Amino acid sequence: MRAAKNQSFLVRLRFACAGFAHGVRTEHSLRIQLFLFGLVLIALVVLRPGPVWWALVILASAGVISAELFNTAIEHLADHLHPDVHPSIRIVKDCAAAAVLVASLAALAVAAALVIHLVAH
């Protein structure tokens, strides 16, 4: 087992990159979110909104991707600790999935606000 405490920044960065890479390899939803984020970045380049809109869109997108990664971590931990179907574990997983849904809906709200702003100006 590796101890993450008191490691150098580069060692901890490698841990984080390994976690991200694992999520990309194993989670279809994360790959979809990353693909959509790529499309969003292209849209931002084409539409050229102001810096505040860039920040809002990137923060909202990062929130969705982070929620996906948290969801993956929680699912793996729950499955490891209790591999059998259990009502409490189901609730934990459902709540983690709901967090992704909430983040996604918030990102869609930011996108809608940006579209309304661009159409109005």
Q: Which of 33, 63, 68, 72 is catalytic?
A: 68
d(C-alpha 37, C-alpha 61), whole Å: 7
Give the Å distances, CA to CA, from 7 to 1, 29, 36, 61.
Answer: 14, 31, 34, 29
Active site residue 68: yes
Q: 14 is written with which tokens?
A: 């490698």
| Residues carrying an active site annotation | 68
